[in-house]
Structure 1
Amino acid sequence: MLERTTVSFAREGKLVTARIDGPRLPLSPSPRSQVVGWVPQITAALRSRGLPSELEDGISATYIHAPLPEGRKLVITPPQEPAEEQPPGAWVALAEREGEPGCEMWWDSQTTGPDHAHLGIAPLLAAVDRRLDDLGVAQRPDPRPVLNEVGTHPSLYRAGFVPVEAPTGRFFRLPLAMADPDGQHRAVTRAVESLRFEGFGVRCPPQLLSDDPRALHLNRAELFGLGQLPQFVRDHALHTRDVVGALDEFASPLDGMLAQAVETLHAAADWWQDLDGPDTERHVYRLHLMATQIERSTEEVRALRGELADRHTDRPLLPRAGARAVRDDNSSRAQAARSVSPSARHTPPTGTPPSAQPPASQPPPRHRR
């Protein structure tokens, strides 16, 4: 087993595959808790630096305590009363020594605090990390974000790869109908560059890579942006890969809009959990339920996206709106329709009277918006 999550690309028969190897690290704990939603995220960050933590329930908030190497204690908590005057995402982190008055403030994003312009858990943890560095606390094994198998999926999806569930485990491959070597090499190159940017290890034969600068360009769906995707799919998608790229903007793991919606609904439910009210439990349940339903639908979208990707073909040319069908007056079916009997012979008219001339085609009416 490798010490670092690595994606290996290879040509296996007619397939170009991507197989993931390395430590199967779990995803970072999702900030969901029946008590306090933010606890797992902060305790996991402290634990990754060797600091065990304990919880203490206060009158109006929960405290996280962690021992510091010089005998002090790190305390992290949301702001105390009055909570209604504090914005969501405000935090306090301080170092204190038991039995001694006073403390050293490490972070204060309360309304009156020096860090009030920086809300959220990420800047809090970044400030705590800087203080721990100053104290000589051991670094995380890898200072980059936790790298795991699932973290490779967005890069592979957006490069056009399709996930395959096999008895030996999951792997990714390029679409079955993508037989053009240049297209294969561009897709592999895009995946490789994205994975390296994210910090993953990559093994790839040079012959699978491309020198074509188009390999690193955004796909057409990304160029149009989320707000224009419906129009893009209707009017500008020329190939199945265009529609696949549009679907990936929503269904890509971790960074797709549907995945973000699921996490947002769960986070909103956790936030609501602490509010008083007769309907709190019902509303929290509904938010979690909607998130679960979206998650299931997202899996269906990904499955259909894989089916479409395997087609890998241009969009069929469609007749323009209002175009007249071409008549074939000499076809055997047309001649039979004109015949009075099987032995009758059709004699085309020598001329058509003016009254029988077909009316000139009129342009379709314009609809006002």
Structure 2
Amino acid sequence: MNMPWWQELWRRHAHITTPLRARGLPCDIEFGLSAYIVRVSLPDDSYLIISPPQEPPSDHPPGDPEGWIATREHPDDQTLFEVLYDSAPSNNPGTRRRPKARHGGSAQPMIEAIDLRLAQLGLLPHPALPHESPHVHPAQPTPPPPSRDISGTPGRGPAYVYGDALRDLTDRLNAAESHADAAALLHQILEPTDGLLAQLGEFFEAAGEKAKEAEEDDGFDLSYDLADAAAEIRSLGEVLHVAEDRMRALTPLAPAPRLPSTPARAPSLPPRALPSAPPRHTR
């Protein structure tokens, strides 16, 4: 089965985007001068561009270049241009080799350099590494549900193991204490290669292939319907691919200030007695 190009693109850059998104930095993948680049938004409205060598263009596959270049720029300040990391090999044989060129296309040294510089600038929202966070984290998979008999037990009907697992995830989302925790749970659904939507698309595509095995007209018709469902699910994942970052960027509303309690009112005076009506005279 062929993976959609955008899923394949995110998969090839996951070793770059996953640690940065874990630090609360929204990422996107764009096409640069001659290769795909990772654009990372920063809290001060500046951004990072992480790219392979582009002039001349790299002949390596996306996400696995011969070196990485990470720069910081600002859309409204053309004077801001800072090279945070450069491990690209030199094209000039007479030029002295860059110190970081020994790392080549390895991502870990670059992530460490970005961590250090952004921490110095105060632009690292979540400096903690994934395994250091006490909360649910995108890099931490949801524990699988306990093994149960899918066919059900007599008198109880079928057991919906996977529906129950998703219901548990929904309960955790409802109980999330912060938007960051909610974003971590969204990651479980929207991660472009291993998330629930991506795997659900694979499931429907596999079901379509299974329907074809019947070699009947209805089987082929069913396979087309299932293939359409798989395509719609993948399209939904593409539409929502930045929902996790948008959720994490939300600021919780501050609780409304409590108004001072109203002082007790003095007891009201008893009503004044009305004057008695004059006697009526009858003729």
TM-score of the two chains, using structure 1 as the length reference = 0.36
